[in-house]
Amino acid sequence: MLRRTVEELSTGSDSDYSNSWISWFLSSKGNEYFCEVEEDYILDRFNLTGLNTEVANYSQALDLITDNLDDEIQDELRGSLDVQARLLYGLIHARWIVTARGLAKMLEKYKKADFGRCPRVLCQSQPLLPVGLTDIPYEKSVKLYCARCEDIYSPKSSRHGSIDGAYFGTSFPHLLFLVYPHLIPPKSGPPDVSAASGSTSTSGGREEGGKRVAGRRAREEVDVGVAEGVGEGASTAAAAMKADRYRPKIFGFHVHEIAKLQRWQEAVRDKQVVKLEEIDV
């Protein structure tokens, strides 16, 4: 399905190639998430190690990206080569954005909220970052990661939703925050739970306020679970359990501090699930 969508978006006339291929690609609708990969990075074959086994017609696709393609190539092959060029540029892009210069370019887009903002009210319009759920192309589309609630969302635009997640990789957003730790936002939640819930300042009031916030959080997680394909007839507790937690990783390894925090969060969630099961019964 994802492969067919990419091929459908790869149409273009001969006039589209009057400028450089990369300029045309970045200016095409739906490619606003991508940043420009520096030509020096692309021309360094060391940076492209292993991509020749993942992309068909690798040499010609690379020539198309770098505007070195022979003009005598048959027109009927240009469409298929463009699909391979998109794939190759996307995989190069995933490697580029985890370099120092690539992170700096994506940081500019992040500060302008080019990837959108978190829809949750408590996240206070936190800018999002693109992330892939796998580094293997044609498996999962790109998702948007919120550093406040630590959850992922699907892009609103269908054009953006058809972008392959492998073009951004699984490590980018978390590596960005490790390089720029001052950008890590505070976790979602009101500054004063008792004030937000309207309860008194007594310990009982704080506990009640905490229950309300926990319940609201649980309902939000259930909504995410239903969106992921949980049946409407399923119980609330079952829906909560099927809502998978997103686990930030860098090159396959869990981020230590986040992993520690998630263990605590999951313990709180498990307690809430027990309460939901009692309600369902």
**CA pair distance 65, 21, nearest whole angstrom:** 6
> What's the whole-model pTM score?
0.69
The pLDDT of residue 233 is 54
Q: Which residue has the higher pLDDT, 249 or 54?
A: 54
Residue ranges per structural domain of the chain: 2-106, 115-183, 193-280
Q: How far is CA 162 from the centre of its chain?
A: 12
> Domain 2-106 is classified in which CATH homologous superfamily?
protein kinase ck2 holoenzyme, chain C, domain 1 (1.10.1820.10)
The pLDDT of residue 67 is 87
Give the mean model confidence (pLDDT) for residues 235-254.
68
Structure confidence by residue, pLDDT tens digits, 91-123: 999 999 999 999 999 999 999 999 999 999 989
DSSP state of 124: T
CATH fold for the domain made of 115-183:
N-terminal domain of TfIIb (2.20.25)
Alpha helices of the chain — where are they, by DSSP H? 2-8, 21-27, 39-43, 58-65, 75-96, 100-111, 158-161, 172-179, 193-197, 203-227, 236-242, 256-280
The pLDDT of residue 257 is 62
The pLDDT of residue 208 is 42
Q: Which residue has the higher pLDDT, 252 or 140?
A: 140
What's the longest Cα–Cα distance across the chain? 80
Structure confidence by residue, pLDDT tens digits, 167-221: 999 999 999 998 999 998 887 555 443 433 343 333 344 344 444 444 444 333 3
Q: Which residue has the higher pLDDT, 258 or 98?
A: 98
Of 38-47, 66-75, 185-194, 268-277, the least confident: 185-194
- 2-106 and 115-183: same fold? no
Q: Are 119 and 126 in contact (CB under 8 A)?
A: no
**CA pair distance 262, 254, nearest whole angstrom:** 11
- pLDDT higher than threshold 70 for residue 225: no
